[in-house]
């Protein structure tokens, strides 16, 4: 299935896919195809997580704090490649929903250590089930070898 066909399949409201020759030079633009793929993945994620009212960044933050209790807010932002303002906004929203708590770091009083609350652990459990469904939807398009290669290729862009 082409990127265009996948886009239309995942978002029927987008209309009918234009034949490749109607895209002109865009069809040869790698970034254009990455944007289409990102859009399809993002839409599916948003649908899968609508009931939980969580964003990709929020789920990722909860997941990392669960695996690394006491992770500093600065370290969280670095691992997720978020700037300080975005990290603070993400943590503030999770804290406002009682999913995370901040404590002054015992090792470095200038840092905020992050911990999941009981509610955060519960919602993360639900989120992980949604992630599994979302990953199944995405991985169904590729063989195991293609998935491995795709991850390797995408890492060249984001690392």
What's CA 37's distance to the chain center, in Å? 13
Residues 101-153: tens digit of each pLDDT: 999 888 887 888 999 999 999 999 999 999 999 999 999 999 999 999 999 99
pLDDT of 155: 93
pTM, two decimals, is 0.78
Q: Are 100 and 120 in contact (CB under 8 A)?
A: yes
pLDDT at position 89 is 97
The 3-state DSSP class for residue 72 equals strand
Q: Is residue 149 part of a domain?
A: no
Residue 146 is assigned to a structural domain of this protein: no
> So what's the pLDDT on residue 7?
45
Looking at the structure of the chain, the number of domains it has is 2
Rg (CA), the chain: 19
Q: Give the pLDDT mean for 68-95.
A: 96
Domain hosting residue 95, numbered range: 56-122
User: Is residue 63 domain-resident?
Assistant: yes
pLDDT band at 5 (very low <50, low <70, confident <90, very high): very low
More confident residue, 35 or 8: 35
Quick one: 111 and 66 in the same domain?
Answer: yes
Secondary element (H or E) of residue 58: helix 56-67
pLDDT over 80 (residue 94): yes
Let me know whether 63 and 14 are in one domain.
Answer: no
Band of pLDDT at residue 75, cut at 50, 70 and 90: very high
pLDDT for position 17: 63
For 143-154, write each residue's pLDDT tens digit. 999 999 999 999
Structure-block tokens of residue 65: 């704090």
Residue 127 within any structural domain of the chain: no
**Segment 6-26, tens digit of pLDDT:** 444 555 445 556 565 688 999
Of 13 and 73, the one with more pLDDT: 73
């Amino acid at each position: 299935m082409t990127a265009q066909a996948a886009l239309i399949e995942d978002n029927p409201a987008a209309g009918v896919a234009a034949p490749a020759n109607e895209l002109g030079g865009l069809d040869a633009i790698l970034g254009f195809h990455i944007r289409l793929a990102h859009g399809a993945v993002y839409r599916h994620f948003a649908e899968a997580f609508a009931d939980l009212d969580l964003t990709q960044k929020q789920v990722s933050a909860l997941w990392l704090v669960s695996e690394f209790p006491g992770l500093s807010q600065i370290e969280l932002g670095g691992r997720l490649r978020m700037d300080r303002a975005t990290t603070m906004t993400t943590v503030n929203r999770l804290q406002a929903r009682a999913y995370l708590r901040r404590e002054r770091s015992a090792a470095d009083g200038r840092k905020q250590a992050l911990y999941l609350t009981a509610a955060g652990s519960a919602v993360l459990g639900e989120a992980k089930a949604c992630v599994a469904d979302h990953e199944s939807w995405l991985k169904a398009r590729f063989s195991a070898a293609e998935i491995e290669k795709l991850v390797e290729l995408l890492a060249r862009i984001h690392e």
